[in-house]
Each structure stands twice: as C-alpha cells, then as structure tokens.
C-alpha cells in the first residue's frame, strides 16, 4: 500500500443515501490505510452528493476552510410540517389547501439575498458542548439565535403542482440549512412545507463532476484510488497565493513571521493566503499586525 506521505489531499465522495458522513469517513480510513481522515461539512443520512474527504495531512485543514459556497438540488413538499423539517421526521401538521406554482415561485424569490435563519434542533450544531440533535432526541427544545446566511440564487421547478411537490436549485453560503429554508418557505406560504429529498451538487471548488461513490472507489486498484487525490491547495482555491524565496520559505516553515515590506506584498490585516515556494503550496498563512509592520504568519503547515 502507498504510504501516508503519498496519501495526502482531498478525495471527493458522492455520498449515498442512508449513511452518515462519519460512516463515509470510516470507510475511507480503511480504503486509504490511514486514520487521519476528516470531512468538510456534514450531510444528513437522507442527503446525497458532494462530500469532500480530507486524507492524511489534509485533515488538519478542516478548521480553516474558507470556501463558502454550496450548491444543492432539493425536493420540497408543500402542506406538511415535521419535527425534523424533512420527510424523515414526525408529521406535525397537514394542510390540504396548497398555493399554485406562481405563488410558490414568487415566495421563493423573497428568500434570495442576505436572510436570517434559525438553525434546526435536529442539527449537529453544538450549544454548551452538546449537539442540538442530541437534545432534540431527548425531547428538549432550546432557543437558537438566528444567523445571517446568503442565498445567491433559488431556481424553482415544478415536479407535481397538484400534490405541491417542487424542486429547488439553490446556491448558498456555508452554514445554510436547506431543510430550514424549505420549512421557512412553507411558513411564508401559510401551508407549511418539508424537505423531501436533498442532493449537494457543489461544495466550494468541488462538484459532482469530480466525485465518486464509495462503491466505485472500493472497486478501484490502489493506484486508481491514489489518482483520485486532489492537492490540499484546492481547499483554499479562493485565497491569493504568495510565493516566497527559499530563504523566506525556510523562515516561514520555522514559524517566523515574514514582513510584507520585505517581499513586496501589501495585503490587509486579517487576509488569509496560500503560502508557496518553488515546489508549490506548503502552508496557510494570515496577515497580522506587529510593532514593526504587517507580516504574513503561517497558521497551518501542510508539510512533514
């Protein structure tokens, strides 16, 4: 088996229905022969689609990921509300009077832009160290603060107008709960709604086009699996790259700050960058303020 030094990067999995994101991580640990495996965003068991898996040293990147955009195709069923806001939950209300498609389309447009969303109780979000979903399963409901999210676009499509079943093609920011979006649309319409299917089509720079199912990966040879690994740098595709000379790259690797005036950059304080040398990307950095001026400081090295 290829050793762990070689097994480092991102593999994009097309998650199947009925398993958790952790189930996928467990399988990938076996397939790639390392315990250092993580993922970049939970998908509920009923959801399918793009789940970037971090292999080897790339697992250290999860807390620093900056890719905000996500893409989803969801199915929404009007006239039903559930405790989980998706079709897997306990039905709370039913409504036989459903709006027509023109009204549905009109309301969908009202959710485009910056909006506030209250995270659902059935979510992995933690409050005081405990997941909301665990509290919900104990029958406990707590107040959750609304958070601002951004919906770039919603394209509604009809599946079955008479039964109130539609498709939503959504582009949104990280942290958006699509089932809550469906529930909020239903509430605005006055008939209620629940999410009846979900497929993530995009996560940052990764799409279904470069993803593979677990079944496909299991059938591959060791060399074929290794060829799926995408460089860690792709996780930070939206950050500016700063290339350092050999001298400054050595200092950076040793934990030293690199003053911008010495390398010809002038980025604002707080800016995160990809730090590269002649061999390519090796660290994530951040511009910080020091007594002698602003400098780039590595905050996570991706080398041995």
Instruction: Output the 3-class SS for 216-275.
Output: HHHCCCHHHHHHCCECHHHHHCCCEEEECCHHHHHHHHCCCCEEHHHHCCCCCCCCEEEE
Q: Are 137 and 90 within 8 A, CB to CB?
A: no
**Cβ-Cβ contacts under 8 Å for 148 (sequence gap 6 or more):** 114, 115, 116, 117
Q: In DSSP terms, which residues pair with 275 in a beta bridge?
A: 242, 283
**Cβ-Cβ contacts under 8 Å for 159 (sequence gap 6 or more):** 75, 165, 166, 167
Q: Exactly one of 14, 23, 44, 128 is catalytic; which is it? A: 44
- Known catalytic residue at 44: yes
Q: How far apart are CA 61 and CA 50, in angstroms?
A: 18
Q: In the Cβ-directed half-sphere of 233, how many Cα atoms lie within 13 Å?
A: 15
Please tell me whether residue 175 adopts helix, strand or coil conformation: coil
Q: Are 72 and 41 within 8 A, CB to CB?
A: no
- Active-site positions read 44
């Amino acid at each position: 088996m290829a050793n762990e030094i070689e097994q480092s990067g991102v593999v994009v999995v097309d998650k199947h229905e009925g398993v958790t994101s952790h189930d996928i991580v467990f399988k990938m640990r076996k397939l790639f022969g390392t315990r250092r495996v993580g993922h970049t965003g939970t998908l509920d068991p009923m959801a399918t689609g793009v789940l970037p898996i971090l292999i080897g040293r790339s697992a250290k990147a999860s807390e620093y990921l900056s890719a905000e955009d996500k893409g989803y195709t969801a199915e929404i069923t009007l006239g039903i509300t559930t405790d989980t806001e998706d079709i897997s939950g306990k039905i709370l209300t039913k409504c036989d009077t459903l709006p027509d498609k023109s009204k549905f389309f009109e309301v969908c447009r009202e959710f485009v832009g910056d909006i506030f969303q209250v995270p659902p109780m059935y979510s992995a979000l933690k409050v005081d160290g405990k997941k909301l979903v665990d509290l919900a399963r104990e029958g406990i409901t707590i107040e959750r603060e609304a958070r601002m999210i951004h919906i770039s676009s919603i394209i509604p499509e009809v599946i079955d107008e008479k039964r109130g079943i539609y498709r939503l093609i959504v582009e949104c920011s990280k942290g958006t709960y699509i089932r809550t979006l469906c529930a909020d649309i239903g509430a605005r319409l006055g008939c209620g709604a629940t999410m009846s299917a979900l497929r993530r089509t995009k996560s940052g720079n990764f799409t279904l086009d470069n993803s593979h199912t677990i079944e496909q990966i299991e059938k591959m040879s060791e060399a074929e699996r290794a060829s799926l690994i995408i460089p860690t740098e792709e996780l930070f595709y939206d950050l500016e790259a700063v290339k350092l000379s050999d001298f400054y790259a050595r200092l950076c690797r040793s934990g030293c700050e690199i003053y911008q005036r010495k390398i010809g950059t002038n980025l604002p304080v707080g800016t995160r960058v990809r730090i590269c040398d002649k061999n390519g990307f090796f660290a994530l950095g951040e511009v910080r303020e020091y007594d002698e001026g602003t400098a780039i400081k590595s905050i996570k090295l991706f080398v041995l």
